[in-house]
Amino acid sequence: MILPIAYHPNYVTPLPEEHRFPMPKFKLLYEYLLKEKIILPEWVHTPEIPPQYWLELVHDRAYVKAYLEGSLSPKAQRRIGLPWSLGLVTRTCTAVGGTILTAQLALQYGIACNTAGGTHHAFPDYGSGFCIFNDLAIASRVLQHLNLAEKILIIDLDVHQGDGSAYIFQDDDTVFTFSMHCENNFPHRKQKSDRDVSLPVGLDDEGYLQILAKYLPDLLSEVKPDLVLYDAGVDPHVGDRLGKLALSDRGIYRRDRMVLSSCKAFGYPVAAVIGGGYTKNNSQNMQDLVYLHSLLHRAAREVFVNI
């Protein structure tokens, strides 16, 4: 058994110094996973930039064209929160390709993990909250378009509601959206997922894991998906810059292991992305953040490989 991993050097592109988005973490995570032997080099798959019409399975053509060309209005750019550049266009599209590839690999191997992804705040005609194109929604639509899957379950455990995903699939019975998030956090205006679980500020490991354990088995048995897309954001961590919850390192690991082992027990393939996680861009904080993201891959290896 192997743990397929999606990574591309283009996952990182320069941003202005002191920008809140921790861009270096993607390359550092990949290097850490190799150094700690959590993954092996032969497990790594390199994604490609998807064709534009795949993006347009979810996003309005005019929005896709304007972003790719750099002609979005200043207001639309501010809503995204990332300054436009050709490098960022390449980075954005490559990361979407990574989630599509991760989903395809999960169908083949039962498990696969991206080292980026989770851009769940992107709506059909605009980006928001550091999210430009919604990789979870695009991967879902591409798999359906290619007749690789019919029913998809998105389990979104980022601390922020997956509002873009909820909106995109609000009238679609083929994609079930589950979002468990801090109630008093971005986005201010929540959308309606198929199932939302709002959490109080300051919730700790035991409270969080009890709530997740209450919902997860029924969710899997009810939806019966061909594929689970798991957004394993680490921003519920107590030290997260934008989080407001209080999970420990151990709590994050136990959460990821619970999701992955449940999917495996039910026999549903799972494609995981790393989602949110925010810190100040100094060396120690970035190392701590990379470690938190690596817990997803550690849990995946423990559940699927170290049998």
End-to-end CA distance of the chain: 9
Three-state secondary structure call for residue 181: strand
How far is Cα 76 from Cα 200, in angstroms, rounded to an integer? 31
**Nearest alpha carbon to residue 225 among 128, 136, 139, 154:** 154
**Nearest alpha carbon to residue 58 among 127, 123, 119:** 123
Q: Which of 8, 59, 120, 121 is catalytic?
A: 121
Strand 270-273 to strand 227-231: parallel, antiparallel, or no bridges (unpaired)? parallel
Which residues make beta-bridge pairs with 271?
Answer: 112, 229
How far is Cα 129 from Cα 41, in angstroms, rounded to an integer? 32
How far is Cα 235 from Cα 158, in angstroms, rounded to an integer? 6
- CA 182 to chain centroid: 16
Q: What is the DSSP letter of 9?
A: G
Q: Is the peptide bond before 16 cis (omega within 30 degrees of 0)?
A: no
Can 59 be counted among the known catalytic residues?
A: no
Helix (H) or strand (E) holding 61: helix 61-69
How far is Cα 282 from Cα 289, in angstroms, rounded to an integer? 11
How far is Cα 117 from Cα 233, in angstroms, rounded to an integer? 10
108, 178, 205, 223, 274 from 218: Cα distances, Å: 25, 12, 21, 8, 24
| Residue positions annotated with a catalytic role | 121
